[in-house]
């Protein structure tokens, strides 16, 4: 277990350090941006509270120390007013996480039957047509679907709101309505990727002897596919669902911009335009840390889905 955790921590440490050092490459000094003019004592006090009183590395450790304690830095207004970044995160992060979860659920719900069906029909006409469409759909970036859906369904047909976000606590039906187009545009490429992976794994599993055995025992095709074949075939699917989280988070940023959803992506956009680099640093660090931890958890969970991977790891 320790052997897994140490590289994980090293990666988190390294990625946050790189982000922190990146801020040193800014064409403007952080001091010039965020230190309000004042007498010597107040300037010194400001430098100290922002961790800018030392070199690049002391700045990083100051940031890291705060980050671990749940203090994600400040948004600093001209004149010296401050708002903790955690305030913004408290509203933005749940929205983005909700979006990603919806996308993963929808994608898995659609891609599992689709992958099994195309594998079962492998080589037939219906499989070829679906498989080629899936390949094309997997290559199309999600913002393309986002923009096209916004134009045609949102604006031209007017069936669904082309932009905006309603919180589920306010109006659940409206919430679902505003989420359909963003979730759909993120899901289409994801569904395509997942079903293609599941298809090739199911085809491989169908060649196993125990499947022939189950068939000769007279089990129904549906029973064989869903109870005997799906589970051993789903390892790659789960691994890539975890890895795909990265692409999905990147996609969420763009989709949030297109549909004006006030999630993390929009906050990052605001941070860039209003030059809030402390906030930007913490936002990106949260994404990186979340992504790494999530992958670590999935890796452990995989051992339960497919015990074969667990044995291989211990060997």
Q: Is 122 in the site for other proteins (CB under 8 A)?
A: no
Q: What is the DSSP letter of 121?
A: T
- Report the residue from 109, 148, 300, 301 that binds other proteins according to the rule CB under 8 A: 148
Q: Is 28 in the site for other proteins (CB under 8 A)?
A: yes
How far is residue 265's CA from residue 59's CA, in Å, rounded to a whole number?
25
How far is residue 93's CA from residue 164's CA, in Å, rounded to a whole number?
16
- 185 vs 225 by CB, closer to other proteins: 185
- Report the residue from 5, 10, 36, 105 that binds other proteins according to the rule CB under 8 A: 10
SS3 of residue 199 by DSSP: helix
Give me the helices (H) in 37-159, please: 40-50, 56-68, 85-120, 125-139, 142-149
- Report the residue from 147, 153, 215, 298 that binds other proteins according to the rule CB under 8 A: 147
Shortest Å distance, C-beta 6 to other proteins = 11
Task: Give burial (CB, 10 Å; 0-12/13-18/19+) of 220.
Answer: exposed
Radius of gyration of the chain (CA): 24
- Report the residue from 101, 105, 129, 272 that binds other proteins according to the rule CB under 8 A: 272
Q: Is 300 in the site for other proteins (CB under 8 A)?
A: no
Q: Is 100 in the site for other proteins (CB under 8 A)?
A: no
- Report the residue from 57, 61, 77, 135 that binds other proteins according to the rule CB under 8 A: 135
Shortest Å distance, C-beta 154 to other proteins = 9
Shortest Å distance, C-beta 57 to other proteins = 17
Stretch of residues binding other proteins (CB under 8 A), selected from 151-159, 178-186, 218-226, 302-310:
151-159
How far is residue 28's CA from residue 23's CA, in Å, rounded to a whole number?
9
Shortest Å distance, C-beta 295 to other proteins = 8
Site for other proteins in 238-267 (CB under 8 A): 246-247, 249-251, 253-254, 257-258, 265
User: Taken in order 183, 185, 186, 191, is the CA torsion positive or negative?
Assistant: positive
Return the bridge partners of 84, or none. 74
State the chain's maximal CA–CA distance in angstroms: 87
Give the Å distances, CA to CA, from 86 to 15, 74, 146, 260.
Answer: 20, 8, 29, 21
SS3 of residue 75 by DSSP: strand
How far is residue 98's CA from residue 22's CA, in Å, rounded to a whole number?
30
**Sole residue written with tokens 């195309």:** 118
Q: Is 101 in the site for other proteins (CB under 8 A)?
A: no
Shortest Å distance, C-beta 139 to other proteins = 4
- 226 vs 262 by CB, closer to other proteins: 262
Contact 240, 111 (CB under 8 A): no
- 165 vs 291 by CB, closer to other proteins: 291
- 198 vs 288 by CB, closer to other proteins: 288
Other Cβ atoms less than 10 A from the Cβ of 143: the count is 17
Stretch of residues binding other proteins (CB under 8 A), selected from 3-11, 38-46, 59-67, 200-208:
3-11
Residues that bind other proteins (CB under 8 A): 7, 10-12, 14-15, 18-19, 22-23, 25-28, 132, 135-136, 138-141, 143-144, 147-148, 151, 155-156, 246-247, 249-251, 253-254, 257-258, 265, 268-269, 272-273, 275, 277, 280, 284, 287-288, 291-292
């Amino acid at each position: 277990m320790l052997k897994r955790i140490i590289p994980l921590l090293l990666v988190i440490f390294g990625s946050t350090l790189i982000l922190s050092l990146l801020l040193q490459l800014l064409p403007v000094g952080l001091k010039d941006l965020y230190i309000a003019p004042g007498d010597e004592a107040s300037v010194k006090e400001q430098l100290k509270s922002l961790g800018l009183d030392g070199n690049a590395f002391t700045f990083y450790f100051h940031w890291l120390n705060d980050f671990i304690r749940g203090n994600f830095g400040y948004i600093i207004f001209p004149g010296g007013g401050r708002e903790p970044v955690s305030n913004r995160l408290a509203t933005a992060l749940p929205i983005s996480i909700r979006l990603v979860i919806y996308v993963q659920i929808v994608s898995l719900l659609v891609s599992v039957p689709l992958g099994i069906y195309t594998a079962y029909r492998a080589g037939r006409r219906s499989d070829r047509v679906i498989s080629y469409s899936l390949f094309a759909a997997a290559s199309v970036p999600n913002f393309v679907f986002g923009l096209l859906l916004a134009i045609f369904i949102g604006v031209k047909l007017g069936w669904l709101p082309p932009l905006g976000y309603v919180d589920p606590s306010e109006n659940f039906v409206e919430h679902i309505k505003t989420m359909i187009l963003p979730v759909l545009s993120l899901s289409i490429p994801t569904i395509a990727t997942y079903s293609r992976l599941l298809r090739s794994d199911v085809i491989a599993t169908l060649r196993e002897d125990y499947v022939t055995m189950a068939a000769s025992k007279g089990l129904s095709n549906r029973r064989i596919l869903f109870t005997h074949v799906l589970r051993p075939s789903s390892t790659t699917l789960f691994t890539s669902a975890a890895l795909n989280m990265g692409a999905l988070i990147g996609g969420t940023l763009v989709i949030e911009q297109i549909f004006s959803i006030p999630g993390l992506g929009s906050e990052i956009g605001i941070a860039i335009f209003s030059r809030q680099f402390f906030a930007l640093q913490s936002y990106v660090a949260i994404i990186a840390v979340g992504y790494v931890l999530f992958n670590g958890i999935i890796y452990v969970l995989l051992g339960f889905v497919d015990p074969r991977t667990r044995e291989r790891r211990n060997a």
